[in-house]
Amino acid sequence: MRDPEIMSQVKEILAKISKLAPGHAVELRIPPFSAIQCVEGPKHTRGTPPNVVEMSAQTLFAITKQEITWRDGISDGRIAASGERSDLSELFLQLSSAE
């Protein structure tokens, strides 16, 4: 079951990411709450996207608050990222500095 409060927080953060990095080159997934396409580049329309980032809601909250770094999340497996455009480290730094 999806907690409505967590879903609301996830969607709020993803909306901010969409504004900071509009586009369709990367699919950012926060299962089971939501997913968006972001970052400028080639638009993806069918099948598994070439650039995918996936993390839990707890990891999303931690990286947004700078409690963990992108590098830490990647190295310990809390963030799964594939594709040449999947490094969203700068985007999360922008997001946390905008808060």
CATH number of the domain bearing residue 27: 3.30.1050.40
**Residue 13 is part of which domain span?**
4-98
**pTM passes above 0.85:** yes
Number of domains in the chain: 1
CB 79 within 8 A of CB 73: yes
What angle (nearest 5°) sits at the alpha carbon of residue 59, between those of residues 80 and 64? Answer: 110
d(C-alpha 50, C-alpha 41), whole Å: 11
Q: pLDDT tens across 10-56, in order?
A: 999 999 999 999 998 999 999 999 999 999 987 766 667 789 999 99
Q: What is the pLDDT of residue 46?
A: 67
Task: Give 1 or 80, the one with higher predicted confidence.
Answer: 80
